[in-house]
Structure 1
Amino acid sequence: MPDNPHGSDTDPENLRAFIAAGLERARMRTHALTACDEEDLLKQHSPLMSPLVWDLAHVGSQEEIWLVRDVGKMEPLRCDLDQMYDAFQHPRSARPSLPLLSPVEARKYIAEVRTKALDILDRTPLEGSPLVDRGFAFGMIIQHEQQHDETMLATHQLRVGVPVLQARALPASVLPTGRDSFAKEVLVPAGPFIMGTSAEPWALDNERPAHEVDVPGYWIDTIPVTNGAYWSFIDDGGYRNPRWWTAQGWAHVREAGLVAPKYWERNGDRWIRTRFGVVELVPEDEPVQHVCWFEADAYARWAGRRLPTEAEWEKAARHDPRSGRSRRYPWGDEDPAPHHANLGGSALRPSPAGSYPGGASPLGVRQLIGDVWEWVSSDFRPYPGFNAFPYQEYSEVFFGPDYKVLRGGSWAVDPAACRGTFRNWDYPVRRQIFAGFRTARDASQTMVR
């Protein structure tokens, strides 16, 4: 891949090549995730998710609006599609009733949009207005398509039957050796750090601006909570004891009939799960995933701990106590490489807890990037000095107590849509997403478990 635009190389042609490669990587992934028969593309596999064919055309619609019309100032291809593929106009549960493009029509449409977008990339100065400076609009579209690719992976997990996806084995060099020895938790000393960013070229509005936050000292788990640790909570009656749950969480447990993470089933004295059509024993050493915020919060209470705040999570992931600066990633400023984190989606699962020592933070916290999104205790709120850009509906309409924050990305996230400042959010009841968590405690608190 060409040199990245975030480093010292600012040559515009290298930046164009980097953008073109990112667009192509996203599109190849989109095609791979929609390489199933027409019935599966048109079917709604869960009311929580759109039909796959809606996502397929939606990524093209957004690319047309922002790159073809806004950046390129070209005539619209399909104005008639704007409302149908506007995520705010139609809830996911209602999208199957729309007169959606067929798979053949959708593929033709997104190909036509892409041809025009690449022509625009070739002739657009990547400097000047905030929308095009350092390729922001192109980076926004790359991230948008990759986010929908992750959403389509969640849809595939909900499909009945065996999907067409094939898992890639994780390289042995990034896995725990059995001789790895690291502390259960690490102390993050009290003090200020710089949260958010004002310099990351493709950072989205909710990541901005950079600002100083003073954080009291705290302990944080070195690794995410594992399946094995979580089933101890289940076996101890965690889902039957309201003591560990908020009032809202306990009401949800009873209403939804929760007894374990999504896709888990009891088989005698063992837990099994269905993962992309494959039934298997739940691996004890993997980070737990497909738990909602209420489940993560209840486990933390049961363990005598708590979820970290968003500021605590980001300080653990970015703050270098030696230099005092905030890095782009736990390991430094360079873009993710295969030895840093489990990203990109091809593994179809988290890696064992303790993997990727090359991606550890300066304090030794592992797997902060990739593997599972991590729920934190914080509501989704704007940073001081927030400005909506390039449109209010990206972040601003979601701010408030209804949404909880997730950080760090999952195994299903592409590196383009994941960094130390990246913020995700969802309702606290959501479980179809690839989310887990780690726990924390105040520096003054005695460790209970």
Structure 2
Amino acid sequence: MNAVHPLSSTPEPDLLDALHTQHQRLNAALEATPRQEWRNQYHPDLSPMGWHYAHCHFIEAVWLQERILGNAPCQQHDWHTLYFPELSPKWRRGGRLPSAERLLTWGRECQERHRRLLREDPQVRQHPLLEQDYLVGFLAQHHAMHLESLEQVRWWAQLTRPTPPVPVPTRPRTTTWPTTDWAWIPGGEASVGSDAVITFDNERSPHPVTLEPYAIRSHPVSNAEIIAFVESGGYAPEEHWGPDGEAWLERTGVSAPLGWWRLRDGTRVQTLPDGTHTLEPEAPAVGLSWFEANAYARWANARLPHEHEWEHAARSGILRDTGHVWEWCANTFQPYPCFRPFPYDEYSAPWFDGAHYVLRGGSAWSDPLLKRPTMRNFFTPDKRHVFSGFRLARSL
């Protein structure tokens, strides 16, 4: 295990309370899942809902029981080959899960036992990983990410229905904005990254960067703007897609964001985890790959922002409506200077491969724990199910 990073003295939220909240959300998620669905794998990229629930509790047990207390692995020796992702192909996971009732019972027992250890056990409390409750926050965020993955599974479950259900009314919104709301930002030195306790290793080591002057949209690209792109033939394999985007487009046959439908009367709707909604023109568009975001930006005579530009604008209070969709950035996921893997080597380092692109901001399905200016999400450019949209930037 790597040495513990020096931690910031910045006050943090009560992380034990945050972990308890995630436990309650996990229980509610599994309880609300129809028993005929919780083992199902709806997409090759996504695990069954029941696996996400079990994996979260297993990871807690690994950190607390095995790595901190030094206990032998649980007698259920096959748990490691089921709940460690690298040892368990997604397609095999559903059939190996215990019943939902057993999972819920075991999960609640784990939750109570683990919270007691984190609150009271001297050996646990004195471990370097518990400095300022770092491990508690790490586990709470880990669970929050898997809960968002559960919503992605629900999305695909909705999308497998043979016909779209009757659309529910448009969800109310409290903000409106023009579609040309550009903010001009002078170049110069900016700071990115954070040393706060509740950050992941790829965010740590705050450091200065030099930015050229740029403009960035105050709001994400909206459904209305994507409709205009669709209706103008933007999904035709033209120059704005670039070679890789054009190859992806021709391979997939995509012609609109994920979950978009058109009813017989011409109404455009989108299926989301909670059902099918009439498209609201001003709402941030969601269900877009990096290829689609980049093609739209080029078609609109703009570009995607670099993640440093995005973070600087977010910290400056310029960005509006963040946290509705994860926002694709132009650059691939790379380590910051002085990066050190923590609390284990494989959390970020394997994904510095030049094939994963950065997303920022969080989505409507993200827990508030994950919605901070420095949070770096990352996926390959073909992924559309990760509640992703984008905003535009331009060089000045």
TM-score by length of 1: 0.78
- Provide the C-alpha distance between the structure 1 equivalents of 2:237 and 2:253, rounded to a whole number of angstroms: 13
- Provide the C-alpha distance between the structure 2 equivalents of 1:40 and 1:182, rounded to a whole number of angstroms: 40
Q: Which residue of 1 aligns with 2:395?
A: 442
Per-residue CA deviations over 1:253-299 (Å, capped at 9, x if unaligned) read: 11111000010023354422223363332111100000000000000
Q: Is the 8 A contact 1:71 1:132 kept in 2?
A: no
- Provide the C-alpha distance between the structure 1 equivalents of 2:179 and 2:391, rounded to a whole number of angstroms: 16
Q: Does 1:407 align with 2:333?
A: no
**Selected match of 2:319 from 365, 384, 404:** 365
Letter in 2 for 1:390: P
Q: Does 1:209 align with 2:205?
A: yes
- Provide the C-alpha distance between the structure 1 equivalents of 2:293 and 2:363, rounded to a whole number of angstroms: 16
Q: Which residue of 1 aligns with 2:233?
A: 237
- Provide the C-alpha distance between the structure 1 equivalents of 2:128 and 2:80, rounded to a whole number of angstroms: 24
Letter in 2 for 1:133: E
Per-residue CA deviations over 1:122-175 (Å, capped at 9, x if unaligned) read: 22579876521111111111001111000001111111469xxxx9x9887xx1
- Provide the C-alpha distance between the structure 1 equivalents of 2:313 and 2:47, rounded to a whole number of angstroms: 35
Q: Which residue of 2 aligns with 1:379?
A: 332
Greater Cα offset, 66-75 or 39-48: 66-75
- Provide the C-alpha distance between the structure 1 equivalents of 2:379 and 2:189, rounded to a whole number of angstroms: 28
Cα–Cα, structure 1 residues 273 and 302, in superposed 2: closer, same or farther, change >3 Å? same
Q: Which residue of 2 aligns with 1:90?
A: 88
Q: Is the 8 A contact 2:118 2:125 kept in 1?
A: no
Q: Is the 8 A contact 2:80 2:87 kept in 1?
A: no
Greater Cα offset, 107-116 or 221-230: 107-116
- Provide the C-alpha distance between the structure 2 equivalents of 1:203 and 1:102, rounded to a whole number of angstroms: 35
Letter in 2 for 1:116: R
Cα–Cα, structure 1 residues 384 and 9, in superposed 2: closer, same or farther, change >3 Å? closer
Q: Does 1:113 align with 2:102?
A: no
Describe the SS at the equivalent of 2:329. strand
Letter in 1 for 2:43: S
**Unaligned runs of at least 5 residues, structure 1:** 321-360, 444-449
Describe the SS at the equivalent of 2:321. coil
Describe the SS at the equivalent of 2:226. helix
Letter in 2 for 1:374: E
Q: Which residue of 2 aligns with 1:31?
A: 27
Q: Which residue of 2 aligns with 1:325?
A: none
Residue 417 of structure 1, CA deviation: 2.3
- Provide the C-alpha distance between the structure 1 equivalents of 2:369 and 2:71, rounded to a whole number of angstroms: 27
Q: Does 1:225 align with 2:221?
A: yes
Which aligned pairs between 1:53-132 and structure 2 lie closer than 5 A? Answer: 53-74=50-71, 76-77=73-74, 78-97=76-95, 99-123=96-120, 130-132=128-130
- Provide the C-alpha distance between the structure 2 equivalents of 1:127 and 1:277, rounded to a whole number of angstroms: 40
Greater Cα offset, 134-143 or 31-40: 31-40
TM-score by length of 2: 0.88
Cα root mean square deviation, aligned: 2.5
**Unaligned runs of at least 5 residues, structure 2:** 1-6
Letter in 2 for 1:417: L
Cα–Cα, structure 1 residues 430 and 20, in superposed 2: closer, same or farther, change >3 Å? same
Per-residue CA deviations over 1:34-64 (Å, capped at 9, x if unaligned) read: 1223211112122221111111110011010
Q: Does 1:257 align with 2:239?
A: no
- Provide the C-alpha distance between the structure 1 equivalents of 2:11 and 2:157, rounded to a whole number of angstroms: 44
Per-residue CA deviations over 1:336-378 (Å, capped at 9, x if unaligned) read: xxxxxxxxxxxxxxxxxxxxxxxxx1xx32123x100000011
Please list every run of at least 4 consecutive aligned residues from structure 1 whose deviation after the TM superposition is greater than 6 angstroms.
5-8, 125-128, 169-172, 180-183
Q: Which residue of 2 aligns with 1:287?
A: 284
Residue 6 of structure 1, CA deviation: 8.3
Count residues with an aligned counterpart: 378
Per-residue CA deviations over 1:164-196 (Å, capped at 9, x if unaligned) read: xxx9x9887xx12x6x67961101110111111
Per-residue CA deviations over 1:83-104 (Å, capped at 9, x if unaligned) read: 210111223234235x222212
